[in-house]
Amino acid sequence: MAAKKAKQEQHDREVLASPAAARREAGAGPPPKMKRKEYEREMRLLHGELVAMQEWVKASGAKVCIVFEGRDTAGKGGTIKRITERVSPRVFRVVALPAPTEREKSQMYIQRHLPHFPAAGEVVIFDRSWYNRAGVEPVMGFCTPQETERFLELTPAVEKAMTDSGILLLKYWLEVSAAEQTRRLESRINDPRKIWKLSDLDLKSYSRWYDYSRARDVMLAVTDTTWAPWYIAHTDDKKRGRLNIISHLLSQVPYKPLAPRHVKLPKRQQPGGYREPDLPLRYIPTPF
């Protein structure tokens, strides 16, 4: 009986971890691709909530740190853009650090990330983070197995110190299927708008799908803690993935919309004799 119960619990966990599996359990296939009009309508509502959250963060002095990790092409950059496009860059800061310098390589690993942690009234979003040491670095041979092991050993304590200091730490792993990753990488090859996204490292990483899977599994097992859990988002459907992530983010921040201000534009001053000067100004061409 105990073995049967354990097997059922394992099955239930697998279903909960996979939306596709959950739909199969219900006898349904994947939902259809979301239409642009519906997507923008839902995003407009979420943007309004993000602004409300922003105003609460400023007023309360909250410190919010959001980490985005995941497969190549899983949609981290696009999700971050949708989060930040209607809010103030003075409150929402995006941190996407380049490869470490020689000096930074000699420092304590977490050291170059520390100056970017949020102060009161800030939301900091890491587009990839210190978790490079648990993913791309060991897979691509940029660090030793011992360095990764040491990182995984220390990270839960570092994140406990962050949350104990009052930082609300949210960690998202974006997961995409192998077939969809291939489609997205291929779409970048001949598209001049996307070719900059296709780096030599992406091409090298592409062949190491299961090495990344193993590294991801170890990372999640060790650093998924009660004070800084990982949240998994399936993003084969980019539109649904972005909406799901933003709505979840909002649910994790205990913001309360502030009372709306009564705003009335003041009267504009009279010209007082002002006239446009006759200056040799250079106007831009107007081909549109």
**For the residues 102-118, what does the mean pLDDT come to?**
96
Q: Mind listing the pLDDT tens digit for each residue in 216-260? A: 999 999 999 999 999 999 999 999 999 999 999 999 999 998 888
Check residue 33 and give its pLDDT: 84
pLDDT tens profile 162-182: 999 999 999 999 999 999 999
Choice among 27-41, 120-134, 230-244 with the minimum mean pLDDT: 27-41
Predicted confidence band of residue 11 (pLDDT cuts 50, 70, 90): very low
| pLDDT averaged over every residue in the chain | 91
Give the 3-state DSSP-derived string for the chain, with helices as H, strands as E and coil as C.
CHHHHHHHHHHHHHHHHCHHHHHHHCCCCCCCCCCHHHHHHHHHHHHHHHHHHHHHHHHHCCEEEEEEEECCCCCHHHHHHHHHCCCCCCCEEEECCCCCCHHHHCCCHHHHCHHHCCCCCEEEEEECCHHHHHCHHHHHCCCCHHHHHHHHHHHHHHHHHHHHCCEEEEEEEEECCHHHHHHHHHHHHCCCCCHHHCCHHHHHHHCCHHHHHHHHHHHHHHHCCCCCCEEEEECCCHHHHHHHHHHHHHHHCCCCCCCCCCCCCCCCCCCCCCCCCCCCCCCCCCCC
> Binning pLDDT at 50, 70 and 90, where does residue 159 land?
very high
Q: Does the pLDDT of residue 189 top 80, yes or no?
A: yes
pLDDT above 50 (res 16)? no
pTM of the model: 0.85
